[in-house]
Structure 1
Amino acid sequence: MGESNLREQFDAMRERVNGYLPDDVRVLDIEKVTRAFCARTNRDRVRYQYMIPSYMLCSREEIREAFSPSTSPTPPRGADDADADADVLSDERIARARDLLVRTRVTPKRMEDLRSGLGLFEGTHNFHNYTRRLGSDDASSNRYVLSFVALDPIVVPGSGGADCHPAQWIPLRVVGQSFLLNQIRKMVSAAVDLARGAVSRETIERSLTKDCRMKVNVAPANGLFLDRSYFELYNRHKVKNAPKRGDKGEHNTLDWFDVEGEELPSAVRRIEEFKNEKIIPHIVREEAKEGNFMQYIYSHDANFHEIYSLMGSESKG
């Protein structure tokens, strides 16, 4: 069967399946793979995207002002974790603080500091402080982060809530071979604190060392999603072994990426459209409705005295 004919059949199949699915669940592409292919084990790297509202980069003083006594009671202290006091914020309190914070537009200096903070996590590090129940001597605590970047901020209409000023959001992208539980969310929490002047660069660098045990907070799950998977080794093997199978191979490699200066492949266009029209709007609507980031930054700062505290050195056995 010719390649073009097979592609037409796959496209027809994709459209037919999508006809039975809700519009927020889509089959974006169909490709022919080898018999032993496994999407989880054959991928070399993954790319996650995390959307954060710009007011996350407000200084502790600015956050304190948004939740000042004229707006809400003094934040409680002494919780064991950042989520413990979230329920003390009423919808009314969140709405009043949101009206102030969604007007935030990040400064070039804070964007520079955020990018610098994210860059601290690139390379191979011991991330035992960035997950749960994992000792520094555990080999799995060592992870390799290929890149961690902040894209230019975007303003999303309606993301501040009904009849509210539109909020500005910052897309973050991180690429790695694999990630530990909560690793990305903890890295974001620390990089954000660096950008807003709440923690030093030296403290974050120290948190990545083997002999340091330190509490690092976990940013909200809302906003984080898997953006791409890489299958470079699988693609190379498929192209190399194509003559044995009697096909060209390269036409069925798993590449869902844009190439600078070239027109976007149709599958990549569909992926980007789905992300921009469904995923990101869902994230900002969820924040406008639930206020997850609002509650996080409130509790985070209320209990800041417990964060980045040293917990003793790791035992060398």
Structure 2
Amino acid sequence: MQRIKIKVAYDGTGFCGWQLQPGLRTVQGVLELAVERITGIPVRVHGSGRTDSGVHALGQVVHFDVEDVRATVPWQKALNSLLPDDVTVLDAELVSSEFHSRYSAKRKTYTYNLWLENSFFLPWRRHYVWKCGPVDLASIDKAMQFFVGKHDFASFQNAGTPVSSTVREIYYFKRYPGQSGQEIVLEVCGSGFLKQMVRNMVGCLVNIGRGKAEPETVRSLLERKDRTAAPATAPAQGLFMAGVEYGESGCGGTDAGRNQFENCGINGEA
């Protein structure tokens, strides 16, 4: 058997998330159907992480195993000829059998798009931003830095996925201009993320940006380790899985916020 690694981008609007669910359209299910059409047998594909319904990806990493005779298939071209318009394979390569898209990951990067204008809204952006309205950017910039470092993120984990530890390390949290003058992009890179952790952090930042809490609130919420003390979860549609790194160098999503679509070779929406 040979292991194939692919990098995938998708528009999460029409999917019920990444993970297989009976009777529902999922990214994993669509990919497995395409791989099976090439191999002639069912093949399980493994993603670097799960995304919820409505969440998008610019750099989801996936691996699967195929028989030796299928190793030379031009996987990017073959899969893209079978996949629907809202999923595309950005690249494909043979990797060692020791590689695992999830367990070999060293760091992950996510971006989140915010729409800051109340007087109008571009309708074609509705699936890709949170229309949160005006926020104080200086307060958000200050609050983001309290997330950086190694902390217990129990206050920012939603229920549903048991984990052995809620401690994670955030390497950076940055703000970039968005695709239009009415948008900003928040980009966060870390060792890993708990269930809906990024959306919960963004929900907290917007709450602070609206003047409902002080930036220092982030520190107290981290210390409390109580999800019920933190603000509501941000909507799914503004979130993008931007990239996954497997080496020891810096985070792979450094410019993902500024160049979301240029970096992954996609024109228009992800």
* TM-score bucket of the superposed structures, by smaller chain: 0.5 to 0.7
Structure 2 alignment gaps of length 5 or more: 1-70
Among the aligned pairs, what percent are the same residue? 26
Paired residue for 2:19?
none
Matches within 5 A, 1:16-165: 16-55=78-117, 110-133=136-159, 140-155=165-180
Partner deviation per Cα, 1:12-59 (whole Å, 9 max, x = no partner): 54234322323321111112211221111111011111112114xx7x
Aligned residues: 185
Paired residue for 2:264?
272
Letter in 1 for 2:96: T
Q: CA deviation at 1:214?
A: 1.6
1:221 aligns with 2:236: yes
Q: Give RMSD over aligned pairs.
A: 3.9
Structure 1 alignment gaps of length 5 or more: 1-8, 59-65, 67-94, 156-166, 237-254, 280-317
Using the size of structure 1 for normalisation, the TM-score is 0.49
Max Rg structure: 1
Q: CA separation of 1:178/1:205 partners in 2, compared to 1, >3 Å: closer, same or farther? A: same
Q: CA deviation at 1:215?
A: 3.6
Does structure 2 conserve the Cα–Cα contact (< 8 Å) formed by 1:118 and 1:191? yes
Q: CA deviation at 1:232?
A: 0.4
Partner deviation per Cα, 1:237-259 (whole Å, 9 max, x = no partner): xxxxxxxxxxxxxxxxxx97789
Separation (CA, whole Å) in 2 of partners of 1:32 and 1:256: 20
Separation (CA, whole Å) in 2 of partners of 1:258 and 1:216: 27
Using the size of structure 2 for normalisation, the TM-score is 0.57
Does structure 2 conserve the Cα–Cα contact (< 8 Å) formed by 1:10 and 1:30? no
Q: CA separation of 1:201/1:257 partners in 2, compared to 1, >3 Å: closer, same or farther? A: closer
Partner deviation per Cα, 1:190-226 (whole Å, 9 max, x = no partner): 1112222121123222111047662421111111121
Letter in 2 for 1:169: E
Does structure 2 conserve the Cα–Cα contact (< 8 Å) formed by 1:49 and 1:225? yes
Letter in 2 for 1:273: G
Partner deviation per Cα, 1:139-193 (whole Å, 9 max, x = no partner): 61221111111111331xxxxxxxxxxx822211111111111211111111112
Paired residue for 1:186?
200
Q: Which one has a larger percent helix, Structure 1 or Structure 2?
A: 1
Question: Which secondary structure does the structure 2 equivalent of 1:207 belong to?
Answer: helix
